[in-house]
Structure 1
Amino acid sequence: MTSVAARWARALPPWAVDAGIALLVLAAVTMPFVVPRDPRLPEATWAAYGLTALTVLPLVWRRRAPVAVLVGIVAASALYELALDGPGQPLPYTGLVTVYTVADLCPPRKRLGVLLVLPVVVAVSVWLNTRSARELLFSLFVFGAAYAFGRLADTRRRANRVEAEQAAARERARIAREMHDVLSHAVSLMVVQAEAGPVAVRTAPERAEAAFDAISETGRDAMAQLRGMLGVLRETEDAPRAPQPGTAQLPGLLERVRAGGLDVVYEVTGTARRLSPALAATVYRVVQEALTNTVRHAAARVAVVRLAYGEGRLEVTVTDDGRGPGGPGGGGHGLAGVRERAAAHGGSAVCGPGPGGRGFRVAVTLPFGEAGS
């Protein structure tokens, strides 16, 4: 309920919010005129109430011209003190709201001018009213607090804006990584299978049919994943999210790679644990990118994918018997994405020559976190 009310309040136009604030302040300044009063105090006249209500009206324009509104309120309040002897107010509501607005919305030069003039105006107002040191200190305190709250609101808004921009940048980078992994993997497999197709047509027609089936299956899988990603961009905050691929989808990924001619061995050691969706998706993408590099660059015959569940961490290793560092070790966007994915979970990634300097090896260590227990 609270989140719904907050979203509803944020959806209101600024003029509606300002009008609501003006009505609340009007209700507050009306109370001294309707509450029974001591007969010895000045009588509450309609003229006094009309001028009091007039000081509230400029609050509707407080965002457009905060300093001008503050000047108008100060002038109306001075006229009330000098020309009328009506009931006073327990707090200078209109002045406090306007000082808050100046501190929140005005540029530094205007804020500094108001901050320098405000103590003088407060001192003159107290001298015209009670000439009490106690009232002077209290007035300086409440106006100083209003100014401080205004600066705090401005600082919070700026911090939220920076945080939103950083979140948007992270999301753009995540989507770019996902699309790179999906497209790079699918296109690499399809190219390899398409190149093998003509040869298979001449020598083994049954293998050619399998190659074309693999091309079709790889394309359909890539289209399904891309539709899922693009659908996320169109979804609202409360819309359901399509699940990301995870460790359960690894056998299907390996089958598609095998259909392209690479012999893939899959090993799982240790006690398998339930992974969070984000961690499981990272494991899938790491394996996908490592195998994509092997298919594209390594000219390998065999690749070994190993998931080792250890104490508090999961080690994902993909090793091939291909060309070694001169192959997939070029450090392109794919392997950079592997390192970024590992770092996002507090893990690490090492890419380099395989055992004995032969082939290429991608080793990623990922801590389980709370979801791995």
Structure 2
Amino acid sequence: MQEPPLVTVLRRRARALPPLLVDGALALLVTGAQLWPLLTTRQYEGLPWHWWGYVVAVASSLPLVWRRRAPLAVLIVSLTTSLLYDLAAPVAEQPVWYGQLVAYYTVAALSSRPIRMLLLACTVVGSFFLPGSPDTALRSGILLVAAYAMGRAAAGSRAQAAALEERAARLERERQLEAQRAAERERARIAREMHDILAHAVSLMVVQAEAGPVAVRKDPARAEAAFDAIAGAGRDAMEQIRRMLGVLKEDGGAPRAPQPTVDDLPELAAQVSGAGLEVTFEVAGEPRPVTAASAVAAYRIVQEALTNIVKHAGATRAGIRLTWEDDTLMIDVTDDGRGAGRALPSGGHGLIGIRERATACGGTAAAGPRTDAPGFHVSARLPLS
């Protein structure tokens, strides 16, 4: 059952107070309670109460100021002084020694298990030797045991609250760590997407731009086609980047066009063919439904492989082959370029990105020189489900 908000606020404010201030106020309150019989009851046969009674009432309660620092010592002082109450007469009858109960509660709540067990044993044995009637001894023992039980309950409640706070803090740390990991994964994904888009578009534009001056002098029609290819690659890159940045906006109002998939590979092959590289596209087997992750990975893997061919291979021909199997899609991209002699630029992420994309959707990827002819071979196996 949830406690009222006012109680929660008061509890929080009370916990914020300095412990010494709280214990001092408690000691004054208990002192007033123990002096109450002496201050309000009638004197004995016209005689004033003995001063000793006032001393004991104060001495058995004021040490509660230090109850958190030395709980056992405060309990011993309170018990000893209260037992000396009847040494003088006349004194008023004390119905309950509140200082003892508070000190007993504190020992039960804060002391170690051996001290608590010794205290319980002494309470049980001492009940038989307390001065006064058996009823008084029994009542005193019951009150002390009740104070002990309340102290243990308070200790258990604090331990449970501390455990819950620790668990909440741990969960919050784990949540922050997971959020950080998710952000890192998202940054890596965005970096791969930006790399794939820009590297592919810029490579095509550079190749066409390098061929443009030669074509202008020898073949104006081809030069015009080269400039058209540069413009098309730039527009495509800008559109994909604009779409990606729109998705990243907080308002979420940007249109979210679908990611390229396996069905867009023929268009990609045609686009690269326009850059002067002869690209063939083959399909073997019956096409099957494929997961969204594998579909995007297939397109990006082929795109990255073609980008590497355009940038580094010095090839004249490249081939794309898709092989549909029962539960996997095999992707093979080959070229007739430099093969093993190919040198990737420092810091390049092309082949690494291919492997990461394949692994991210549960597949595998490999790259290396061709064994059947000069050139390079990139292969990937992606799961269909």
Residue by residue, what CA displacement relative to the aligned partner does 1:16-61 show, whole Å, maximum 9, x if unpaired?
xxxxx9x934258xxxxxxxxxxxxxxxxxxxxxxxx8x43617xx
Query: Does the 8 A contact of 2:283 with 2:323 survive in 1?
Result: yes
CA distance in 2, matches of 1:76, 1:368: 74
The equivalent position to 2:355 in structure 1, one of 339, 342, 357, is: 339
- Which structure 2 residue ranges, 5 or more long, are not aligned? 35-105, 120-140
The equivalent position to 2:207 in structure 1, one of 170, 187, 192, is: 192
Q: Does 1:153 align with 2:108?
A: no
Q: Does 1:348 align with 2:364?
A: yes
Please report the TM-score for the alignment, with normalisation by the length of structure 1: 0.67
- Shift of the 129–245 alpha-carbon distance from structure 1 to 2, 3 Å rule, reads farther
The equivalent position to 1:279 in structure 2, one of 288, 291, 294, is: 294
Query: Does the 8 A contact of 2:108 with 2:151 survive in 1?
Result: no
After the TM superposition, which residues 258-269 of structure 1 pair with which residues of structure 2 at under 5 Å, given as runs? 258-269=273-284
- Shift of the 293–121 alpha-carbon distance from structure 1 to 2, 3 Å rule, reads same
Residue by residue, what CA displacement relative to the aligned partner does 1:112-170 show, whole Å, maximum 9, x if unpaired?
xxxx999328999xx99764244344333222111110110011111111111111111
After the TM superposition, which residues 134-283 of structure 1 pair with which residues of structure 2 at under 5 Å, given as runs? 134-236=149-251, 241-283=256-298
CA RMSD of aligned residues (A): 3.5
The equivalent position to 1:119 in structure 2, one of 109, 112, 116, is: 109
Deviation of 1:202 after TM superposition, in Å, equals: 2.0
CA distance in 2, matches of 1:118, 1:229: 63
CA distance in 2, matches of 1:167, 1:307: 32
Query: Does the 8 A contact of 1:294 with 1:328 survive in 2?
Result: no
Matched to 2:234, the amino acid is: G
- Shift of the 216–240 alpha-carbon distance from structure 1 to 2, 3 Å rule, reads closer
Q: How many residues align?
A: 284
Residue by residue, what CA displacement relative to the aligned partner does 1:327-370 show, whole Å, maximum 9, x if unpaired?
2666831111111111212222111011325100111111223x
Query: Does the 8 A contact of 1:25 with 1:56 survive in 2?
Result: no
**Equivalence for 1:46:** none
**Equivalence for 1:71:** 19
**Equivalence for 1:359:** 375
CA distance in 1, matches of 2:352, 2:328: 21
What is the SS of the residue equivalent to 2:258? coil
- Shift of the 252–328 alpha-carbon distance from structure 1 to 2, 3 Å rule, reads farther
CA distance in 2, matches of 1:117, 1:267: 84
- Which structure 1 residue ranges, 5 or more long, are not aligned? 1-20, 29-52, 60-65, 86-115
CA distance in 1, matches of 2:314, 2:237: 23
Query: Mean alpha-carbon deviation: is it higher for 268-277 or for 302-311?
Result: 268-277
CA distance in 2, matches of 1:354, 1:267: 18
**Equivalence for 1:91:** none
